[in-house]
């Protein structure tokens, strides 16, 4: 957003960052093995490709470096206010401005963009006794590098995208690893490989070649989503995943415990070549009984078995549909965004919300993806927000707000397209669904229609207003 503003000649903006460095999820997630599960040629800005990726799927540290390099290249430093946590943002109708309280004092702004990221607030399980556990225990997104796992008995709770990356890394280090699985994931083979010097030289010399590679990755991922839009039993991805499991896990009893009972894609599909081999090592136990409590140094499961451990790692995901930031935003007539949403977020094109003038969300409701790079969605939104700001500027008015009818009609369309997809009807309970059971997270299918839709700003969906006299 900042880069796009600068490119449009707008310098009068600040970025509030609660941490002391930039990078969001790629700054916070430093657990061993953290890596993006989308190819880096696509998981990077289209306007700032990097010819230096060491692997086709870059590890966390490289992505974080890339983000910092972008901030430097586009001279964003002077705009960023580090350690400024936004505590509240309230629309002041009389002044047509946002009043923003931060941990370092008040600010005001004509326009507010929330780029807070859906995967930023760790979800900590409510396991009785966990807080009294005497040993180290931490969430995968807050990895405690001060804890040496060598020779320790370690519990990992969760088998999602984070867990399956960190388990193969810590397994050789620990004495015993108890892996607590509530729901088995579908796992596909990983196609990660090193980017050789020759390819990097080619990317540098012929940027058009890298753009072509990016396009081919993009379109192959667009095709990959088709089976999920109308799920059928035994789909091609499901057969691939079953084949992967059969190839890597010989024991039929273990295989049965690792086989999901929902359609592939219903939860995020994981990719790994070393997860199944790691969990079959003699020092790993897969526990499929639910956790009842933590008692002293032990984790007790529903079958009454106690396992004494030294460290507990919670790879239990994030508070996604809740969007904790919404509790801090108050729009027209004192209406809070969290109250307005009541546990079921919705926005127009995932970006604008009725009742909240001059306010935009990046990666807002129903712009999440399970099959490709979210940066595709973000870039579409940036173009759209810039179009909206230009329209507001041209109009000479003070505020712009999406019409409720437009928002409702958009969401009715999204929900109807989601109805039969694997994300809604795949037979699982995933973080794609909010507490009311509605899918307010995922975009229903291919991304190109979204990109096309957001290419041009659509004034009829919005109301403009003057500053009250």
| DSSP symbol at 153 | E
d(CA 403, CA 333): 16
Angle, helices 197-205 vs 207-224, to 10°: value is: 110
d(CA 168, CA 171): 5
Residues 231-290 touching ligand NAP, rule: CB under 6 A, are 268
Nearer to ligand NAP, 291 or 400 (CB): 291
- Cβ contacts of 223 within 8 Å, gap of 6 or more: none
Cβ 381 to ligand NAP, closest distance in Å? 18
Query: Where does this chain touch ligand NAP (CB under 6 A) — which range of 11-19, 34-42, 233-241, 299-307?
Result: 34-42
d(CA 330, CA 312): 38
The verdict on 159 binding ligand NAP (CB under 6 A) reads yes
Phi, psi of 390 (to 5 degrees): -65, -40
Q: Distances in Å between the alpha carbon of 155 and those of 38, 161, 175, 316, 415?
A: 28, 17, 11, 12, 39
Nearer to ligand NAP, 113 or 163 (CB): 163
Q: How many residues bind ligand NAP (CB under 6 A)?
A: 24
* Pair of tokens at residue 407: 């928002």
Nearer to ligand NAP, 429 or 455 (CB): 429
The verdict on 366 binding ligand NAP (CB under 6 A) reads no
The verdict on 377 binding ligand NAP (CB under 6 A) reads no
Nearer to ligand NAP, 325 or 457 (CB): 325
Q: For the chain, how many residues are written?
A: 469
At 61, is the secondary structure helix, strand, or coil? helix
The verdict on 24 binding ligand NAP (CB under 6 A) reads no
Q: Which of 23, 59, 160, 350 binds ligand NAP (CB under 6 A)?
A: 160
Nearer to ligand NAP, 43 or 457 (CB): 43
The verdict on 291 binding ligand NAP (CB under 6 A) reads yes
d(CA 138, CA 162): 13
Residues 92-131 touching ligand NAP, rule: CB under 6 A, are 119, 125
Cβ 133 to ligand NAP, closest distance in Å? 14
The verdict on 301 binding ligand NAP (CB under 6 A) reads no
Cβ 9 to ligand NAP, closest distance in Å? 34
The verdict on 154 binding ligand NAP (CB under 6 A) reads no
- Cβ contacts of 441 within 8 Å, gap of 6 or more: 118, 320, 321, 365, 366, 368, 431, 432, 433, 434
Cβ 189 to ligand NAP, closest distance in Å? 15
Query: Where does this chain touch ligand NAP (CB under 6 A) — which range of 31-39, 208-216, 405-413, 458-466?
Result: 31-39
Q: Distances in Å between the alpha carbon of 428 and those of 6, 181, 385, 432?
A: 43, 15, 35, 10
Cβ 122 to ligand NAP, closest distance in Å? 8
* Pair of tokens at residue 217: 């990755």
Residues 302-341 touching ligand NAP, rule: CB under 6 A, are 315-318
The verdict on 36 binding ligand NAP (CB under 6 A) reads yes
The residues of the shown chain that bind ligand NAP, judged by CB under 6 A, are: 35-37, 119, 125, 140, 157-163, 165, 180, 182-183, 268, 291, 315-318, 431
């Amino acid at each position: 957003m900042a880069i796009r503003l600068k490119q449009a000649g707008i310098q009068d903006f600040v970025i509030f960052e609660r941490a002391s460095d930039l990078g969001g999820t790629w700054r916070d997630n430093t657990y061993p093995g953290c890596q993006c599960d989308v190819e880096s040629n696509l998981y990077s800005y289209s306007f700032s490709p990097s010819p230096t990726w060491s692997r086709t799927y870059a590890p966390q540290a490289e992505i974080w470096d890339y983000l910092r390099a972008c901030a430097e290249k586009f001279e964003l430093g002077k705009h960023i206010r580090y350690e400024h946590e936004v505590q509240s943002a309230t629309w002041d109708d009389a002044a047509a401005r946002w009043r923003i309280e931060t941990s370092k004092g008040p600010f005001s702004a004509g326009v507010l963009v929330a780029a807070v990221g859906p995967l930023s607030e760790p979800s900590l399980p409510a396991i009785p006794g966990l807080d009294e556990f005497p040993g180290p225990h931490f969430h995968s997104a807050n990895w405690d590098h001060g804890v040496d796992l060598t020779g320790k008995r370690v519990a990992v709770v969760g088998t999602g995208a984070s867990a399956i990356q960190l388990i193969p890394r810590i397994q050789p280090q620990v004495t015993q690893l108890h892996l607590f699985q509530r729901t088995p994931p579908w796992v596909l083979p990983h196609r990660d490989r090193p980017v050789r010097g020759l390819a990097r030289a080619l990317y540098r010399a012929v940027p058009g070649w890298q753009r072509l590679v990016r396009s081919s990755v993009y379109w192959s991922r667009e095709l990959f989503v088709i089976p999920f839009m109308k799920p059928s039993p035994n789909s091609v991805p499901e057969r691939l995943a079953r084949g992967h499991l059969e190839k890597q896990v010989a024991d039929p009893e273990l295989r049965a415990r690792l086989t999901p009972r929902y359609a592939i894609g219903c939860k995020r599909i994981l990719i790994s070549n070393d997860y199944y081999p790691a969990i079959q090592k003699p020092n790993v136990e897969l526990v499929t009984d639910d956790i009842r409590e933590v008692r002293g140094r032990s984790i007790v499961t529903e079958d009454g078995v106690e396992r004494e451990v030294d460290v507990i790692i919670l790879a239990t995901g994030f508070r996604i549909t809740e969007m904790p930031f919404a509790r801090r935003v108050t729009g027209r007539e004192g209406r809070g965004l969290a109250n307005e949403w009541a546990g079921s977020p919705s926005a127009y094109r995932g970006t604008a919300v009725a009742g909240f003038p001059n306010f935009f969300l990046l990666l807002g409701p129903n712009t999440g993806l399970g099959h490709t790079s979210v940066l595709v969605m973000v870039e579409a939104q940036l173009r759209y927000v810039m179009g909206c700001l230009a329209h507001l500027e041209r109009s000479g008015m003070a505020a712009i707000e999406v019409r409720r009818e437009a928002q409702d009609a958009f969401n009715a369309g999204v929900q109807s397209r989601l109805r039969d997809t694997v994300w809604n009807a795949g037979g699982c309970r995933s973080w794609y669904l909010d507490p009311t059971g509605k899918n307010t997270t995922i975009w229903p299918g291919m991304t190109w229609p979204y990109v096309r839709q957001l290419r041009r700003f659509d004034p009829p969906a919005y109301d403009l207003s003057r500053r009250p006299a």
